[in-house]
Amino acid sequence: MTATAAIREKAITGRQRIGDRRRVSVPGRLTWRDSSGTLRFVSVTTRDISELDAFVECDRPASIPLYRLVHFQVETPARSGKDIPDALQRGKVLSAVYRVGPYQSSTGTPQGYALRLMVEPQRQTVQHREALAVAN
Mean pLDDT of the chain: 81
pLDDT class of 93 with cuts at 50, 70, 90: very high
In CATH, what is the architecture of 20-135?
Beta Barrel (2.40)
Give the CA distances from residue 20 to residues 1, 15, 49, 50, in Å, rounded to whole numbers and listed in that order.
22, 12, 8, 6
Per-residue pLDDT band at 16 (split at 50, 70, 90) = low
More confident residue, 12 or 114: 114
43-65 residue pLDDT tens? 999 999 998 999 999 988 888 99
Domain definitions of the chain by residue range: 20-135
Asked whether the predicted pLDDT for residue 37 surpasses 50, the reply is yes
